[in-house]
Amino acid sequence: MKKQFKNKFRNFVLETPFLNPYGFTVDRMIRNLTSWSRLLPDVIIVGNNKSASNTVFYNLIEHPQIKGSSRRENRFFDANYWRGTNWYRSYFPTKSSKIKFEKNNSKMMILDSSPTAYLHPFAAQRIKKLLPDTKLIILFRNPTDHAYSLYHHRVRMKVEEETFETCMLQDQERFEETEKKWRNDEVREYSWKDLRLSYISDGIYFNHVEKWFSLFPKENIHCIDVDELSKQPIVVLNKICNFLNLPKYTFKNYVKKNVNKEDPRKETYKPMNPDTRKKLIEFYKPHNAKLESFLNMKFNWDA
């Protein structure tokens, strides 16, 4: 009980900008002071949210040559860019640890996960500027399922009060409102929950994918169908290893990861209204076809 209260109080202080605008902790102070000696990532999961990014991140760092950031989804390239590069560096291993590792082993790769970056209007340019040679992983989930999952995630967070169908009607308005806030740099990590997200527009993946391929060479981008990950997880993870020029791995401890799995607020939600689902499937069909053509991939969503 005491520990639970302590954690709640800590989170309250960290997430209250008036009390603690820089999210200060002793650990963060030490990391910031040593940021000059720390590495930047070689590979970043840049999208999409609610699309198994946790599963990919936590299983990839089981590979002996992949080391992850100490804070998953630090959101540097969208909501925390104002904090500066040293803040970002503070979450990664030290340069000396890499030197020590590579003396006795093969190369070491640093992995970051920022799945909200995919939709941000400036994230791709920011990554290109800081990490021009980094490799990117993008996960694509059935957009109908993605929209409904993201909606219920926000309902559980108690930041979404409208029905899913009402949100659909408001979608264009919500998209324009959120896009304006991103472009005006008004969004901070602690204010993310206040955004009225556009669940439907966020699933039009084609509208964003060109931006990434225009800035990074195609050999630096690896796209994954979440359905394939579900069916053949070890195969998909080893395809990522091949993409990173790393040896195959057994991933014998593979498990679907979700940081909220023990959260009592997380409840199984009811299936989507069949008529609503049918409308969304039809809506997404032409957009999915464009995505398939552009990526030269076949997605069997709602086939």
Give 36-67 pLDDT, tens digit per residue: 789 999 999 999 999 999 999 999 999 999 99
Q: What is the pLDDT of residue 56?
A: 96
CATH code of 32-145+203-295, in short, is: 3.40.50.300
Q: So what's the pLDDT on residue 187?
A: 82
Cα 20 to Cα 168: distance, rounded to the nearest angstrom? 36
Q: How far is CA 248 from CA 75, 111, 255, in A?
A: 29, 17, 17
pLDDT at residue 71 in the model: 86
Residue with the larger pLDDT of the pair 191 and 121: 121
pLDDT band at residue 15 under the 50/70/90 scheme: low
- 186: pLDDT strictly greater than 70: yes
Report the percent of the chain where pLDDT is more than 70.
84
pLDDT for residue 26: 66
Q: Is the dihedral of CA 208, 213, 215, 221 positive or negative?
A: positive
pLDDT of residue 262: 45
Percent of residues, the chain, with pLDDT higher than 90:
69
Q: What are phi and psi of 141, to 5 degrees?
A: -110, 150
Confidence at residue 32, expressed as pLDDT on a 0 to 100 scale: 72
List the end-to-end C-alpha distance of the chain, in Å, as a whole number.
Answer: 49
List, for residues 120-135, the tens digit of each pLDDT value.
999 999 999 999 999 9
Q: What is the pLDDT of residues 71-126, one digit of tens each?
A: 888 999 999 999 999 999 999 999 999 999 999 878 999 999 999 999 999 999 99
Q: For the ranges 65-79, 142-156, 172-186, 249-263, which has the lowest average pLDDT?
A: 249-263
**pLDDT on residue 189:** 75
**Structure-token match 């990391």, residue found:** 31
**Residues contacting 235, CB < 8 A, separation 6+:** 228
DSSP letter for 23, please: -
pLDDT tens for 233-273 read: 999 999 999 999 999 999 988 877 664 454 444 557 889 99
Structure tokens at 164: 């899913």
Task: Report the chain's mean pLDDT, rounded to a whole number.
Answer: 87
Radius of gyration of the chain (CA): 20
- How many Å apart are CA 86 and CA 84, to the nearest integer? 6
